[in-house]
Amino acid sequence: MIVANKNKIKDMAENLSDSGPGRSLWKDARMRFMQNKAATLSLFVLLVIVAFSFIGSHFAVWSYERIDWNAVGSAAKVGMPSIETGHYFGTDDLGRDIYSRVIQGTQISLMVGILGATVAVVVGTLYGATSGYLGGRTDQIMMRIVDILMSIPYMFVLILLLVVFGRSIIMLFVGIGLLSWLDMSRIVRGQTLNLKNKEFIEAAQAIGVSDYKIIMRHIVPNLLGIVAVYATLLVPGIILAESFISFLGLGVQEPLTSWGALIKEGSNTIMYDTEWQLLFPLAFFVVSLFCFYFIGDGLRDALDPKGR
């Protein structure tokens, strides 16, 4: 009886264990993320916005540079949103199509946000992980450098850079990328100090794995959870910074535009009953930011189930 059962159990065990690839922590996290309705919906909305910024221009009647001479100066009367004129979102005071300009602005703003965050994440993670893992004097020096850079007012440097070197997207990237990795490196260093004392790091050291490989293979992958969360929260921060700079009139160069620049123009003419000039870019801006924040929230819950 017992022997027969034993064989049965053995069979069962073999069947169970023959299930191919295992479930990684990433897969687990993805499942938890998908269960978060707000985050999943936000991700969907954001993807729609991104898709719109690429596909939407095919449906545009007016390009973002072309001027509708009918609407120049009389945007309040002629340039309202309508399907007949082809200005789906209306025109601005110069007769330019807001629909095309919003698409263009979305591309620029998202690009600045995502590229800026990528730079910050890559530089910040490597810097923070190196500093935290090596420890001792190296750590002290590296972190004091961060402290010094952090004490410089961020906006001030950015504005100065744009004034001195002229307004350009590249300069904007340089300025934002230069400064936004600082927070990242601090967060990552803290996490690294925490990870460093785990036994699997010690195990790797005992095996004889080099410091570089320990950082790349053992520390960074285990940091990615917190990094991913912080990155999604960093993107809206950078978009906001870019918008603020553009709002001040120092951002991207005409005829290119961004959400901030559009909002600025819209808000300047709000007293002439052309509220569409403000509301359309603002809606995109607000919805996207909300999406990023919800996704960040969802990621945090998904990647760190114990923290809730």
Question: Does 138 engage in binding with other proteins (CB under 8 A)?
Answer: no
| Cβ–Cβ < 8 Å for 99, 160 | no
Which CB, 166 or 221, lies closer to other proteins? Answer: 221
Which CB, 206 or 271, lies closer to other proteins? Answer: 206
Question: Does 264 engage in binding with other proteins (CB under 8 A)?
Answer: no
Question: Does 136 engage in binding with other proteins (CB under 8 A)?
Answer: no
Q: How far apart are CA 279 and CA 20, in angstroms?
A: 52
**Segment lying near other proteins (by CB under 8 A), choices 93-101, 123-131, 144-152, 209-217:** 209-217
With CB under 8 A as the contact rule, the residue among 76, 209, 240, 279 that binds other proteins is: 209
Question: Does 306 engage in binding with other proteins (CB under 8 A)?
Answer: no
- Residue 108 vs residues 115, 120, 155, 251: alpha-carbon distances, Å: 10, 18, 20, 11
286-305: buried (b, 16+ CB within 10 Å) or exposed (e) per residue? eebbebbbbbbbbbbbbbee
**Segment lying near other proteins (by CB under 8 A), choices 148-156, 215-223, 251-259, 274-282:** 215-223
Cis peptide bond upstream of 255, omega within 30: yes
Tell me the sheet residues that pair with 91.
97
Please identify which residue in the block is written with the tokens 């340089």. Answer: 174
| Cβ–Cβ < 8 Å for 68, 98 | no
Question: Does 163 engage in binding with other proteins (CB under 8 A)?
Answer: no
Residues 3-22 that bind other proteins (CB under 8 A): 14, 17-18, 20-22
Q: In the structure encoding, which two tokens stand for residue 16, read together?
A: 């169970």
Site of interaction with other proteins (CB under 8 A): 14, 17-18, 20-25, 198-200, 202-210, 213, 217-218, 221-222
